[in-house]
Structure 1
């Protein structure tokens, strides 16, 4: 979601308006998919003003406010969670994305502790894409590796793109010894395949988790708001590197998910972000897991 991050984790200009919600607190909620245990981990909740700079940049804030009002939500802001997903199979302890990081008041490590897992127990970190709210937690407040025993897997296009960002040089230096790249579409861990989701960043991927007959797709930033992104998937969001491609991918993938009834994890939907996409007329709605 957030495109740039300094080593001190000061948010870039595109996200200055984000404000931490007063009710933020660590949280961990576990679900079982066959023999797999997956746990949603809360990092932070942010409010983005409805000012036409992020959501609905091609339609204006009044149109966005209308969608929010129809859903019974405040019309002056769009609230987004920043969450991560923990996957445990008895052998590996895998973390998908790492949140904003402790220097931007990220709560991921506290939420991980609630799940009974120490940072040193993480064996693999899978990154959906290299925006700051997904990789910021790869380092500690002291600038060291947050998950020192983990392999950090990032798609090759995104890793190359990240290395071209001068203000990320310090973070890159810290994590480089851990990084292993892959091609979008590759298998990245037992039972987990990467899924290309084009448009958001050059190598943005989701992660398809398969456990027996159970399937769960971490959709990364395919969608952001559980209201706006589903009611109007054709509306542009400025976080997408290629807005036209992002719109096309969002519409196509949402239709597939609604048709398949597959369970997803959406890291920016209201915690715990696990549920299903349902078609309703020419748009979609969110059905949270119970």
Structure 2
């Protein structure tokens, strides 16, 4: 079973588990006082990279049980140690999903498109984008880090393009691999006229450069956004978990196509981040995914940006 098929199977399993584990609604006594309304949680987070405007857009959360065949990390005991040491008590791995909106001059750029409601996610991206003041037709460019369902699933909906005026950009290697995946053919057919490919390291827009981060898929790429001396690294799936991937980068992740290369990429990215004090954007890190890598003892930790 290839990595995309495993992800599709994982999506079905997650949705089944979510339905089975949903709490039952209990009848409340008529005399019970009404609970205070919870404060709304913002699904957007605006910030700047130099003078470039950016917005983190919440799409949802993937929740995985730390168990064989349910988590991509097969080293269950090692993962449990990391989770417990960081105060996680439910033995579950929480992976947020938040595409990034970047306004680069006349370009309105969306980096990745979320899961489109698959893999147990909530499909919050359309509402998050609207809350950021952008309509789908205004998006001029979509940059794809790689063609897994939680990054390309939001490209289409109801048999149509969600972003009809956007050019869809990805590495040539990733586009070639995507066209060979049977489960992605409904997406491939619709986006084909819109796709433009590039080579690793290419300049995509005035502020955005593709950053080669090999190993996860055939043409996986991150993106470096630089303006006025400020820099941000969109890490894609070179780093999945702010805990496991950062503190134990050597652990094998079965979602990686080339494990040895992916591990080397993770370690090099963490080293660079810590040495240069770079601002990272973790698409699967706790929302809004902004922070830095810090050295701790003989390893690294994630330091969210306040």
- On whether the aligned pair clears a TM of 0.5, the verdict is yes
- Is the 1:55–1:235 contact (alpha carbons within 8 Å) kept by the matching residues of 2? no
Between the aligned partners of 2:129 and 2:220, the Cα distance in structure 1 is: 24
Indicate conservation of the 8 Å contact 1:66/1:75, yes or no: no
2:240 to 220, 224, 227: 224
1:265 matched to which residue of 2? 281
Corresponding residue of 1:215: 231
Q: Over residues 103-156 of structure 1, what are the superposed CA-to-partner deviations in whole Å (9 max), with x where a residue is unaligned?
A: 66411111101111100110100000111100010112x110110011000110
**Superposed displacement of residue 189, structure 1:** 1.3
**Greater gyration radius:** 2
SS of the equivalent of 2:59 reads strand
Alignment partner, residue 181 of structure 1: 197
The equivalent of 2:267 in structure 1 is 251
2:30 alignment partner in structure 1: none
Residue of structure 1 in register with 2:87 after alignment: 72
Contact preservation (8 Å) 2:49, 2:225: no
Separation (CA, whole Å) in 2 of partners of 1:84 and 1:146: 14
- Counterpart of 1:120 in structure 2 is 137
Aligned length: 282
Match of 2:146 in 1: 129
Question: Deviations for 1:75-127, whole angstroms, at most 9, x for unmatched residues?
Answer: 52111001100001341110000000146641111110111110011010000
Contact conserved, 2:112 with 2:152, CA < 8 A, in 1? yes
Deviations 1:153-208 (A, max 9, x none): 01100100011112221210001111000111111111111011010001000000
DSSP 3-state at the match of 1:4: helix
1:95 matched to 2:91? The reply is no
- 1:4 maps to 4
Counterpart residue number, 2:35: none
Matched, 1:198 2:214: yes
Residue range with higher mean Cα deviation, 13-22 or 239-248: 13-22
Match of 1:18 among 14, 29, 51: 14
Q: Give the root-mean-square deviation of aligned CA atoms.
A: 2.2
1:138 matches 2:155: yes
Which of 104, 111, 127 pairs up with 2:128? 111
SS of residue in 1 equivalent to 2:240? coil
What CA distance in whole angstroms lies between the structure 2 residues aligned with 1:211 and 1:17? Answer: 42
Q: Structure 1 stretch 19-28 or stretch 196-205: which is displaced more?
A: 19-28
- Displacement over 6 Å in runs of 4+: 20-26
Farther-moved stretch of structure 1 (151-160 vs 47-56): 47-56
Q: Which residue of 1 aligns with 2:31?
A: none
Distance change >3 Å, CA 67–CA 75, structure 1 → 2: farther
Question: Which stretch shows the higher mean deviation, 14-23 or 101-110?
Answer: 14-23
Q: TM-score, normalised by structure 2?
A: 0.87
Counterpart secondary structure, 2:288: coil
Change over 3 Å in CA distance of 1:179–1:220 after alignment to 2: same
Q: For structure 1, which runs of at least 5 residues remain unmatched after alignment?
A: none
Range with bigger deviation, 71-80 or 252-261: 71-80
The corresponding residue for 2:298 is 282
Give the equivalent residue in structure 2 for 1:41.
57
What is the match of residue 176 of structure 2?
A: 160
Check whether the contact 1:45–1:82 (CA below 8 A) recurs between aligned residues: yes
Q: Distance in 2 between matches of 1:26 and 1:239?
A: 30
Partner secondary structure for residue 236 of structure 1: coil
Structure 2 unaligned runs (5+)? Answer: 23-37
Match of 2:200, SS state, is: coil
Aligned to 1:237: 253
